[in-house]
Structures are given as C-alpha cells and as structure tokens.
Amino acid sequence: MNYMTNMTNMTPIDLSPELTFQTSRSGGKGGQNVNKVETAVTGYFDIASSQLLSDEQKAIITEKLSNRINSEGMLQVKSQTYRTQLENKDEVVRKMNELVIKALEKKKKRIATRISKAAKEKRIEVKKKKGEIKEGRRRIDPHNM
C-alpha cells in the first residue's frame, strides 16, 4: 500500500479509506471483455470532508489540483490501464496518493547568487570583439581619411 506523510506531524496517511469508486467499461482493445466487463475505475476524493487532512492542506490541494477537481469539489482520478477492476482500483489509489503528496510538497526556495568578476569581464570582452567584427564590416568613407 502506498503511504503519504502528513506534513504537520510526519505520521503515515493512506487516502484509500476516504476514496469512493465508480466503475465503467474501458475503451480500446480487449474483444468481448471490453464490451461485457466494467474494468475502468474512477476514484473520487472529497477534499472538504476529509478527516485525514488539515484545513491548510485542504486549501493547498484545492489550489494546486484545481484542474482535476470537479464541480462537487471531488478530486477525480481514472484508470483503465489494466484488464481487471482490482488492478485499476489499486492504480487509482496509487495515483491519488501520489497526486496529493506532490501537491503538499514545498518547493525549495531559490538562493540568489552573484555573477563572478571573471564572468563579467569575459562577457564584456566578447562584446568588444563582436563590436570590432561589426566595425570591420562598415564601408570605408574616403572623405574621413
């Protein structure tokens, strides 16, 4: 089972108890299996009524995963990769946990660095050489000699 870490007290959390599932028929290859068996699984996670997440975490997830949240406020993930409903259900749980973990990860703050003196001098030297090359392309004016 895939676990995620609660960012406040670092205890393992598993979203699967709060997920609801809906099955449907998968598209694509599979012959009669596709036409008869509902193997595709869509998982729904109600962010607002979750007991596993803090209010702060709920806000972060709602903001970062807004493109995957439907009009009822449910985070939605679908899987139809496998030929069995159970494998697709496990895949939905794995994807859902992964999504929430990534959404709750804090980005590393960028540390500003200075350009070295040598790099500045090299840049100016390159600019001067380019200027000289362009200067050499000019027409010679006989009146200014």
Domain range holding 94?
Answer: 4-104
Quick check: is 88 in a domain? yes
Record the pTM: 0.62
Is residue 86 one of the residues assigned to a domain? yes
For residue 122, being part of any structural domain is answered with: no
Residue 130: inside a domain: no
| pLDDT interval class at 102 (50, 70, 90) | confident
Residue with tokens 């089972």: 1
Alpha carbon separation from 134 to 100, 122, 128, 140 (Å, rounded): 56, 19, 10, 13
Task: Please give the pLDDT value at position 52.
Answer: 83
Assess if residue 33 is contained within a domain: yes
Over range 30-36, report the average pLDDT. Answer: 70
Put the strands of the sheet holding 40-46 in their side by side order. Answer: 19-24, 40-46, 74-79
Angle at 130 between CA 128 and CA 134, to 5 degrees: 115
Residues 84-89: contacts with CB under 8 Å, at least 24 apart = 84/39, 85/23, 85/37, 85/38, 85/39, 85/41, 88/39, 88/40, 88/41, 89/21, 89/41, 89/43
Confidence band (pLDDT; 50, 70, 90) for 131?
Answer: very high
Q: Domain for residue 127, yes or no? A: no
pLDDT at 133 over 80: yes
Q: Give me the number of domains the chain comprises.
A: 1
Domain assignment present for residue 28? The answer is yes
pLDDT at 30 over 70: no
For residue range 52-88, list pLDDT tens digits in order: 888 888 888 888 888 888 888 888 888 888 888 889 8
The neighbouring-strand residues paired with 13 are 4
Does any domain span residue 117? no
**Average of pLDDT values for 129-135?**
93
CATH of the domain at 84: 3.30.160.20
